[in-house]
Copies of this chain bind each other. A is one copy, B any other.
Amino acid sequence: MEFFFNPRGIAVIGATPNPFKGGYAILKNLLLGYRGGIYPVNPKYAEIEGLPCYPAIGDVPDPVDLAIVFVPAPSAPAAVEACAVRGIPGVLVESGGFAEAGPSGALLQRTLTDIHRRTGIRIWGPNCMGLVDAVHGHIFSFMDPAAQERGLTPGTVSLVVQSGMLSAGFLVDIMSHATMGVSKVCSVGNKVDVNECDLLDYFLGDPDTQTIGLYLESFPEGRRFLEICRRSDKPIVVLKGGKSRRGARAAMSHTASLAGNREIVAGALAQVGVIEARDFKQMIDLCRSLALMKPPVSGKKRVAVLTFSGGAGIVATDFLEEAGLTLSDLSAGTRATLAGLFPAWMPVANPVDLWPAIERHLGTDMDVYSGALASLLADPGVDAVFLQAYAGGSRFRLNLPEWAGLIGAAAKPVFLWLLGHRDRLFPVQQEALSLGIPVFSELFRAAECLAALLRERPPREAAGTAAGPDGTAPADLRERLLAGAGPLDEHRSKEILKALGVPTAPERLADDADDAEAAAAELGYPVVLKGLTPEGTHKTELGLVHLGIADGPAVRFAYRDLREKMDGRGKVLVQKQLAGKVELILGLVRDPQFGPCVMFGLGGTLAELYRDTAFAVAPLSRLEALNLIGRVRGQAMLDGFRGAPVVDREALARLVIRIGEIGLAFPEIREIDINPLIVGEDGAAAVDATIVLDRPPAAP
């Protein structure tokens, strides 16, 4: 990838002297910052902006490592082909009019893919904005040269954005507001070859990059993406676009790629420790915060709040607690120090309202803010400080260098929420940025970012093996149980699960009323009788379930009733009725982007109503499985809610891992739905289940 970022020479195919065209802007941007050879290519001109212009790429002198292509889409494949012939290792195709523009554009895009596969030339784009490197001053893009003329703010955050224009507007906005400097910003567009995985991988080894933010509308290599995230030591923040029904439709037409299911994406990102951002601004805020501050060594989340105003402290506390943080109980020493700053009537509490202390010392040399901050940072019960200040008061000043020194010495994160007059605020923001203090103009943003920094990070752990089920699986499993396609009935689904190590409720099929009574006696009362029809589903709604059967005559009655209702078809299943009060859902789905994914959630009617489920990508490590279980909102249900048994999370995690392993080992299983998985005193068992088979894959 190095030739994309640091090429020794660049050809611009489609260069033009017309200042309203992108082919001019690309050239102009190169002239403003790039120090290597620049070679305009366009048969219509002999010279552009003082540079010799070449009729074709073949005429360009060595060395040239990169070509930026900005010609109408129908001419792009020929231009790329010529680059491959010329031996250029990489092209940035910035033209639009490909898959995002309908069938004929899609055809052109496929031609680009073919050229890449055939010649090995790396293609970045099409339909993209290229890249900006603020550290080296490179803009390989048709974005407005005015941005570069006003200067780029270098920093340690690198960004990948799928959409083209986004990078331009956002970048200028971000940099000019002194909220963040950037290292590299890459616009990936339609991703015929180079995609976010290539860039993420490159950033992991890039010394100029400390944190990485990505705006993505699809994950064409979902599993590779997760694998790279898993081994990253640099914080990664992702904003997923195209979440809503209509948003997803727009994503389809915009990048012509498949938008993933919102919940699956959220689960996959959480699983590998990636922070999901709610919007662009938060993505930037998170990247900057994580680049500037390290989590406290205590690993705890106790925050001291120090504000310029009592009301600000109250609302800050609301937001910090909503974000899952707790407020520190201040030590006696801290309380004494603060009491010394305050007027006598002022009680000391956290949140600390500093105004009475400021007012008391107005006109003196006393730096109340720094004094209070120092005492809070020294308190062993304080893991982080949330600071609010007003920039531009004429009666006292904010000593940011002093604060930065205190923060560095304490090695505890301090987040600054700053208000003030626009003219006075800006220099203080710039000063904070240069001193490495994360500064925010919104409480809500600051609180969310602090919470993200202090959140538990999933410890690195080898993912569960993808070995599949152990040796207990019968040799004839595939032939006997996994033949066919479509949904299997409850009994056969559970036979498969049992064979693969998932506990199921004791049950067997009954041939007639006598056999049903015998089965019930074997299993032990109470039992359940169910009628299984070829259609399989909606047993309850069709009256094909008899619960709580307590004796032989009732078994016979239920058997005859089911037979009658099924009109001679189907089978009757006798099942031991399990007593547990905790109903769960456990399932497997195959996501087109991430492959086999395990779903876990609370079962029962109302849980379905509240859609309390979470996803993770297989294989799962033990901790990932425990985290998946921990992501369900109704956690209380697992911890002995209203007399229900306490769920053994370790045992449940093993089941979760097992479902993922089954998904990896048996591609012919398209879906598993265990609903309910009932947890009783003796552990969990699948009480009802449906497995959906695909046609078996063709023999290799």
Chain A contacts to B: CB under 8 angstroms? 18-22, 73, 96-97, 100-102, 104-105, 144-147, 150, 161-166, 168-170, 172-173, 176-178, 215, 217, 239, 241-247, 249-251, 253-255, 278-281, 308-315, 317-322, 326-327, 343, 345-347, 349, 351, 353, 355-356, 359, 362-363, 390, 392-395, 419-423, 425-426, 441-444, 541, 602, 604-610, 612, 633-634, 636-637, 641-643
Contacts and interface: CB of A to CB of B under 8 A. Distances in A.
B318 A244 contact: yes
A592 to B, nearest CB: 19
Given A609-B634, A633-B610, A311 B163 contact: yes
Contact of A309 (B20, B163, B441, B612): B163
A606 B426 CA distance: 50
Given A20-B362, A20-B395, A163-B311, A172 B421 contact: yes
A421 B393 CA distance: 26
Nearest to A606: B606
A345 B166 contact: no
Contact of A420 (B19, B172, B315, B606): B172
Contact of A346 (B101, B104, B343): B101
A21 B609 CA distance: 60
Nearest to A278: B444
A610 B611 CA distance: 11
Among the interface residues A147, A351, A609, which one has the most CB atoms of the partner chain B within 10 A? Answer: A609
A227 to B, nearest CB: 26
- Give the interface centre of A319, A421, A426, A633 by most chain B CB atoms within 10 Å: A421
A258 to B, nearest CB: 14
A48 to B, nearest CB: 17
A362 B278 CA distance: 34
16 contacts: A19-B363, A101-B347, A144-B393, A144-B394, A164-B309, A164-B355, A166-B309, A170-B419, A172-B420, A172-B421, A178-B422, A241-B311, A241-B318, A246-B321, A249-B349, A254-B353
Given A164-B311, A215-B311, 7 more contacts: A101-B347, A102-B345, A163-B309, A165-B355, A177-B422, A247-B317, A605-B606
B349 A250 contact: yes
Contacts of A314: 163, 217, 241-242, 247, 250-251, 254
Contact of A605 (B347, B419, B612, B641): B641
Contacts of A172: 390, 392, 419-421
Nearest to A104: B345
A242 B345 contact: no
Nearest to A18: B363
B21 A362 contact: yes
Contacts of A246: 317, 321, 326-327, 351
Contacts of A326: 246
B144 A318 contact: no
A280 B347 contact: no
Contact of A280 (B255, B315, B606, B636): B315
A303 to B, nearest CB: 10
A250 B97 CA distance: 58
A553 B642 CA distance: 31
Contacts of A251: 314
A101 B343 CA distance: 10
A169 B605 CA distance: 50
A315 B177 CA distance: 22
Contacts of A425: 173, 176
B312 A163 contact: yes
**Copies per complex?**
2
A349 B278 CA distance: 25
Contacts of A643: 541
Contact of A279 (B178, B250, B315, B607): B315
The 3 A-B pairs at the shortest CB distance, nearest first, are namely: A163-B311, A165-B309, A20-B363
Contact of A423 (B176, B278, B343, B634): B176
B309 A169 contact: yes
B101 A345 contact: yes
Nearest to A25: B395
Given A309-B163, A310-B163, A349-B253, A390 B168 contact: yes
Q: From A20, A314, A643, name the one whose CB has the most chain B CB atoms within 10 angstroms.
A: A314
Contacts of A345: 73, 96-97, 101-102, 104-105
Contact of A281 (B217, B395, B444, B606): B444
Contacts of A394: 144-146
Contacts of A105: 345
A627 B394 CA distance: 50
Contacts of A310: 100, 163-165, 250, 254-255
Nearest to A423: B176
A288 to B, nearest CB: 16
Contacts of A169: 308-309, 312, 390, 419-420
A226 B662 CA distance: 59
Contact of A311 (B22, B101, B166, B318): B166
Contacts of A163: 309-312, 314
A254 B311 contact: yes
Nearest to A217: B314
Contact of A637 (B215, B421, B422, B606): B606
Contacts of A353: 254
Nearest to A607: B606
A442 B281 contact: yes
